[in-house]
Structures are given as structure tokens and as C-alpha cells.
Structure 1
Amino acid sequence: MNLNFLRHPFVMLQTVPAVIALSIGALALLIGYVESFWQIDFIDPYVHLLPPETARTILSIIAGGAMSALTLTYSIVLVVFALAAGTLAPRMLKRFTSDFVNQMTAGIFGGTFLYSLFSLIFIEQDFVPNLTILGAEILAAICVMQLIYFVRNVSQSVAIDEEIAGITANLKSALEDRRKHREEQEGVQNLKEEKIDKLVFEIMAGKPGYLGMVNERKLIEIAADKDILLQIQKPMGAYTLAEEVLIKATGELDEETVETIQKQVTIRPARSTDSPVEFSINLLLEIGLRALSPGVNDTYTAIATVDSLSDALSQAAMQDDTAAFVRKDAEGNARLLVRELSLANLINQAFHPLRQASGANILMAICLARAYSRLCATCGKNVRDLLREHALLLIREIEKAGHLPEDIDSVIEVLPPFIRKANRERLEKAKK
């Protein structure tokens, strides 16, 4: 049974608070029934014995206050959503709706309302469930503390530096998970080339969208049963058309098997966190580009995104750079070839748009030059050659913008010596 829809942020925002609220409400029924059938005398010295009307008034006030606080909570969340979508990035809504504090707060307030409502059932003219009412009073105190914490959390949610740090932490965690996953598998370079060349059977995507979760275990079982190798043609997060080839196989497959294979690959209509590396990079990139737009013009936010990207990608640069890796069956036979974006792809995806948007901004140009220098210090020769091309394009970009020679030199002097040498060779070649 496919339960991936439960991971959708908007579903989580509804289901998680509902589970918490119903659990707290059920607690009132449990305590109330226990008090109704068993006289609990040992708590009498510790609770204030209330008349029925006073008990009803207290529970009514707590229920009304909890519902008012719940309304305030969702109102604040919606305001934060609108603010984030307008000033930060619309795709950050996925982060806000998945925030555990928002979910917990709504659940506690809703649970306190249900607890107080259910507790009213047990109040009779000759019986007052004092322990149940004590529980409602404790919940009311918890609601006050939770509301204070919620407001503090929301104030941090709209602080862009905090959000950039959170996204960067997610990106670094995703890169580390990818590294661990890769260490458990044999690299594509160890797979025989003649076996890859025999991928002759093509399986279409079947519907358009972004490549999401892949049921690798089931695909390996199918490949082992048919004694074939399957190769996924696109990395997670990539867009595919319904008529595009999504998977290739080393042998012919019947229509039923093709349909089974297609069902193991989730294709979503919108980008999702199923591919956390690409999604986090795109999110940082979107924040940076929005900050550089004339309507926002917030250079230091864009600088923060570049610094965060260089930090995360420097971690990836210290890993083995591979564009794909192999999944094996229990007998050690290669059964599934999974593609992923290489470090070069990630660098191009992150820095080309930022470089193109920074030609008129010397501060951003200096920041990008420093990012290239940091990455050059941690990566291999192939990536350094790529970064050299990025840096030379950056220099041409700021020259095209008509900056003063002194400003251009301030960017060039930040770059590593081998890039400065390549720039001098470029200038000498242009003079000839």
C-alpha cells in the first residue's frame, strides 16, 4: 500500500494535529470513566472540590480559550505563509507546513478544547470529576506556555538568515545520506560496459511530472525474477514527459511487467522533497535570485545563500563524484542502475543563474569569487577546471557591465592563482 501521500506537508498539517487533539480528547473520556466507576479518595486532599456549576464554568472557559488560541494559531500561520510566499520564496511553504512546532501547537489547543468538552459530559448534580478537571487546568497551563513558544518560533520562521541556515542543514544532511548510501553500493564505473550497452528495451514514463520516490526493492525483485538489469534514465527531481523513456532494460518485458515497473516510480505534478539535494539547492537558489531582483534588492541575503551553497557543496566535493550507482540483488548481481546529479551538475545548477544575475553587483561578484576559491580548495582537478570556467564567465560578466578596472581587479584578486593566470592568458589572447 502506497502511503507516500502522508508525507505531503499540507496533509501533515492536518493529520498530525488531528491525531494529537483526538488523543488528548480521548484522555478525558478515559479519566472520566475511571472516576465514574471507581472512587479515587486519595486525591481529595490534593484537589479543590468544586460544585457542579463552578466546574462547568471552568471547563467552558478553558474550552473557549483553547478554541480562541487555536484560531489565533492558524491565523498567524496563514500570515507567515503569505509573508514567506511574497518576500522569501513560494516553495518555502513546504517547510512551514512541515514545521513540527506548528503541528504540535494546533494539536495541543485542539486537544484541550476536546478534553474540556468531553469532561462536561461527566458532571452531574451529585458528582464532579475533580481529577478530570485538574487535567483540564494542567492543559490550560500547557497551552499558555505553548502559545508563548509558538510565537517565538514564528518570529524565527520569518527571519531569512534562520531559514537559510535550516535549508543548508537539510542540504548537508541529504548530501551525507547520499554519501552513506553510495558507500554501500558498487559504483557505476565497476559495471561492465558491454552489459550497459545491451539496454535495448525502453519503458516510457506514462505520465508527465517530476520524478519522485522509487521503490528500489521492488524493482530489484522484478529485475532478479526476469534476470535483467534496469537503468533509470533520469535523476530524482528531474521532469519527464509521458512519452519520454524513463527506464531501460537488458531484456524484453511483457506489458504486465512494464505496468508493474511503472507503478514503482512515483511521478509528481510538482517538485517535492523526495529529492532533498536538488530541492534544497533550488530553494536556496530561488531565495538568492529573488534577493537580487530589482524589486527586492537585498544583496546580503543573496550573499548568505552563496556562502551556504559553497559550504554544502564543499562537503560534496570531498566525496567521490559519481553520476550513478548500482543496486544489487541478494546474489550480488547488478539489477538496478540509479542516476543522480554529479557534483559538476550541482555546481552548474547552483552557480550559473547566480552568476548571470550578479554582473552589475560587485559585492555579489566578490562573494561568488570567494565561493569558487573555497570550492577549489576542496575538490578535484575536474571540478577545478569547471570552476575556472565559471570564474572566467564571471569576469566577462562584470566587464560587460562596465565596472571600473579597480572594481574588476577586486574580484579577480580573490580568485585562486591558477584562475588569475587563465584570465591573463585570456586577455593576452584577446589583444592579439
Structure 2
Amino acid sequence: MSKIFNRIIDFFHSIESKIAFYPTLLALSGFLFSLLMIYLEQQGISRNIMDVFPILMVEDGDTALTVLSACLTGLISLMVFSFSMVMLLLSQASSNYSPRLLPGLISDKRHQFILGIFLATIFYNIFTIFSIEPSEEKYTLPGLSVLLGTFFTILCLVAFIYFIHNISQSIQINNILDGIFDHAHKRLNRLIESEQNKQLSFPTTDNWYEYKAGRSGYFQNISINNIIEICEKVNTRIYITIPKGLFVLRNAVFIKSEKELDERILNAIVDNISFSRGELVEDNYILAFKQITEIAVKAMSPGINDPGTAINAIDYLTDLFAVRMQKLDNGIIKSTNSRSGEKEIYFKIAVVGFEELMYNVMASLRTYCKNDPVIVQKLLWMLNYLQKQPAAEAYYHGIIKDEIRTLLEQAKNSFESQKDIEAIKGLAG
């Protein structure tokens, strides 16, 4: 039962990021609400309101049809324009910053809800029009339904004003960087809080049994409790060889087990791991480093030539690296054995280590920014700042020191001005 529940949760997370998810739900709610109003009108709800507030009700069917038809036509035009604005936003973000930003922008719930409000109102007005006869008298007209349709249309106009404001803010690079940083910061903090014991160790897995995933995709989520329950049941420990967030190849070794597993147990383990065809920062903080690095690299390309954006991106990378330094590199999961009551280590997930993460970021930045002395000075400032920050592992500071040395050597070979060389030497100490 828990496996089915986890699959439902994983399926919900996978479709929640689609741009049509919330609009579809709200459009369905608009249709159902229109059916509810048709039923209430048959019970005479408008007739009762007419006796109390006659000024709120339309007088004839032609007027009601004209009002709803005008609202419907305007809303369709408004929705087409809004979708065009979303496509323009996605196109501009992809060309100016990075295609990796698209999943995060598409999953913006504010845009989805606004488009959903438009669709819900359109569906409601369409089916309300079906219930109106032009020759109906005022006491048999669905007056309340017409009034609600007009109110929903006004609500859509207010939502459209907010939509224009929000989409103009969404395309600004500072807001994009801030959104990426916030998601990654929250994810990192959750991981750091889950690391309870710094002295955990895990046996070597060189001689363990190896198994393939049997499917491909980005390693998105894993049901830790279910995996621990399976390990406890068969009395084994397992090692997930691919870090979360990376792409898993169908025929690559994905699972190592201390004891041999039959096909049923292996399938049960794989069933508790979800794979996807896309990446989200909420599930993988490493993606935030990739996205921010790509924004900086794209900003320094000859076609864009925007060093100010690169400097902003390096500022956010500095803050993220400072948080990442508080996280361990082990990836060991510990749980309490339900039989003995003792805490035992059942499995380990491979992680992208601090050294690998730092190298991947700095390698790209060094390659594309080495000729700009201002950016090189900013990178040196970042590394010097990180060297002074507390770290979960002592060797993190040594990694940073090596990166300073590599950056300094590469920059000295790229600069032609002795003044620029002296400036970076001063920052490097």
C-alpha cells in the first residue's frame, strides 16, 4: 500500500511542474461549477434573489446573452495574449540566460493559476450561455449565473494586471537568480538538518553484488523508509552508485548489495525510486549550481557580453557554496532496526562531492572568464571568502586553496597587462 502511495506522490510531483497542470484542474472546476449553478437555477435560486435584490438581475435573455458573449470574447483574446507572453518569457530566458531555466519558469504556479482562472471563467461562461433562452422572462432567467459570470470576468481582468506585473518581474535576471538560490538553499538546509552524526562509516563495496536499474532517466526521488524496510527484511545493505539528480543509464550499474538479491527484491527496490525526464532545483540542489554557472558563462559570451550579470551570478554562487560547505560528503542513511531497536546503517547514496562540484563550476568559469580581469578578481574574492567559512569537512579548505592556485596560474597566462597581473596577485595573497 505504501508503495502505491509513493508512486502516486511521485506521479503528482512529475506532472505538477507541467504548465498545463493547474490550468486543467481549474478549467474542470469551472465546468463543474457551471453544472452546479444550472442545477441551482432549476431550484429557483435566482427567483428568490430577484425578490430581495432585483437590481442585481438582468431583465431579459437577450441582454444576458450579450453580456456573457462579450465577456467570453474578451476572455479568449486575453488568454491568447497571456499565453503569448508566457512563450515570449520562455524564449527570452532560453536565449539570453540558459535553456535549463525553462522547467523552473514553466512550473511557476502563479502563471499557471492565472491561466487556469481564465480557462475556468471561459468554461463557466460557455455552459452558462447554453442554459439561457433569449425569450425567457426575467423570473426564469439564470440571473445569478449571469451575475457570477460577470464577476469572474472582472476577476480575470484583475488577475491579468497582476500577470503583466509578475511576468515583467520574472524575466529580470536578479529575480531568476534569487528564485534559483532560494530553492537550492532550502533543499541544502533540509539535507544538512538530516545529517545527525558526523562519525558514520560505510564498508567498501568493491566485492558487492552489482545490479542495473533496467530503466533510464534522471534519478529524482527515493522512498527512504521503504528501502530501509526492504533492507531490514532481507538483512542486507545497499549502495546507490549514481548521485541523486544525475542521469541513470539503463545498462549501467545502479545498485550494489552486500547480499545477493532475487529479482523480486530488486524490483521492489527499483519501484521505490522515481526517474524523470527533467530536472528541478527543488529535488536536486546541484542543478542550481549548474544553472547559475551557465548564466554567468552565457553572460560572458561574445554575443551577449554582460559582465554585470556574471558578477551577480558569482555572488549567488558564493552564498550557495558557503551553505554547501556545511554539508557532509558521505550520503549515508541511518535508521533504527524495528526488531533490535538499535540504530543501523542500511544504505548509502552516492553524492556529488564538494571537490567535484567546485571543479565543475570553476572549470567553466575559468575557461570563459579568464580574459576578463574584473571577473577573475571576483572569482578570487569568492574563493578567499569561502576559505574563511566553517566547513563540515576539514579538506574543503584545501580544495578551495587548490582552485585559487589554478585560477591564478591560468589568469596570469591570459592577461597581457602587468597591472592586471599585479591586481590578481594582491587578491590571491
Normalised by the length of structure 1, the TM-score is: 0.88
Of the three residues 225, 244, 268, the one matched with 2:252 is 244
Q: Distance in 1 between matches of 2:273 and 2:170?
A: 34
Aligned 1:148-297 pairs, distance under 5 A = 148-183=161-196, 186-187=197-198, 189-191=199-201, 195-196=203-204, 200-273=208-281, 275-297=283-305
Residues 215, 291 of structure 1: CA spacing in aligned structure 2 closer, same or farther, 3 A cutoff?
Answer: same
Task: Indicate yes or no: 2:83 matched with 1:74.
Answer: yes
Deviations 1:250-288, CA, capped at 9 Å, x for gaps: 111112222332333334445444642111111111111
Q: What is residue 13 of structure 2 aligned with on the other side?
A: 7
Residues 43, 344 of structure 1: CA spacing in aligned structure 2 closer, same or farther, 3 A cutoff?
Answer: farther
Q: Which letter maps to 1:26?
A: L
Give the match's secondary structure for 1:211.
strand
Task: Indicate yes or no: 2:426 matched with 1:413.
Answer: yes
Residues 26, 243 of structure 1: CA spacing in aligned structure 2 closer, same or farther, 3 A cutoff?
Answer: closer
Task: Indicate yes or no: 2:33 matched with 1:24.
Answer: no
CA contact (8 A) 1:170 1:276 kept: no
CA contact (8 A) 2:33 2:124 kept: yes
CA contact (8 A) 1:212 1:274 kept: no
User: How far has the Cα of 1:144 moved from its partner?
Assistant: 0.8
CA contact (8 A) 2:184 2:282 kept: no
Q: What is residue 52 of structure 1 aligned with on the other side?
A: 61
Q: Distance in 2 between matches of 1:144 and 1:111?
A: 14
When the two structures are aligned, how many residues end up with a matched partner? 410
Q: Which letter maps to 2:256?
A: K
Q: What is residue 155 of structure 2 aligned with on the other side?
A: 142
Indicate the percent of aligned positions where both proteins have the same amino acid. Answer: 23
CA contact (8 A) 1:199 1:248 kept: no
The root-mean-square deviation of aligned C-alpha atoms, in Å, is 2.2
Give the match's secondary structure for 2:53.
helix
Q: Distance in 2 between matches of 1:23 and 1:180?
A: 39
User: How far has the Cα of 1:295 moved from its partner?
Assistant: 1.8
Q: What is residue 337 of structure 1 aligned with on the other side?
A: 348
Q: What is residue 113 of structure 1 aligned with on the other side?
A: 122
CA contact (8 A) 2:297 2:369 kept: no
Give the match's secondary structure for 2:18.
helix
Residues 262, 206 of structure 1: CA spacing in aligned structure 2 closer, same or farther, 3 A cutoff?
Answer: same
Task: Indicate yes or no: 2:391 matched with 1:391.
Answer: no
Q: What is residue 382 of structure 1 aligned with on the other side?
A: 395
Task: Indicate yes or no: 2:324 matched with 1:324.
Answer: no
Q: Distance in 1 between matches of 2:359 and 2:96?
A: 25
User: How far has the Cα of 1:371 moved from its partner?
Assistant: 0.5
In the alignment, structure 1 segments of 5+ residues that lack a partner are 421-432
Give the match's secondary structure for 2:119.
helix
Q: Distance in 2 between matches of 1:313 and 1:347?
A: 8
Give the match's secondary structure for 1:123.
coil
Deviations 1:201-223, CA, capped at 9 Å, x for gaps: 11123234432222222221211
CA contact (8 A) 1:237 1:274 kept: no
User: How far has the Cα of 1:128 moved from its partner?
Assistant: 1.3
Q: Distance in 2 between matches of 1:313 and 1:205?
A: 31
CA contact (8 A) 2:177 2:292 kept: yes
User: How far has the Cα of 1:33 moved from its partner?
Assistant: 2.0
Of the three residues 348, 353, 378, the one matched with 1:367 is 378
Q: What is residue 123 of structure 1 aligned with on the other side?
A: 132
Q: What is residue 427 of structure 1 aligned with on the other side?
A: none
Give the match's secondary structure for 1:228.
coil
User: How far has the Cα of 1:351 moved from its partner?
Assistant: 2.1
CA contact (8 A) 2:242 2:254 kept: yes
User: How far has the Cα of 1:90 moved from its partner?
Assistant: 0.8
Give the match's secondary structure for 2:260.
coil
Q: Distance in 1 between matches of 2:23 and 2:277?
A: 26
Q: Which has the higher contact order (CA 8 A, sep 6+)?
A: 2
Give the match's secondary structure for 2:19.
helix
Residues 223, 274 of structure 1: CA spacing in aligned structure 2 closer, same or farther, 3 A cutoff?
Answer: farther
Q: Distance in 2 between matches of 1:10 and 1:324?
A: 28
Q: Which letter maps to 1:237?
A: G
CA contact (8 A) 1:369 1:412 kept: no
Deviations 1:311-337, CA, capped at 9 Å, x for gaps: 1111222x2423322232434332222
Deviations 1:82-102, CA, capped at 9 Å, x for gaps: 111111111111011101121
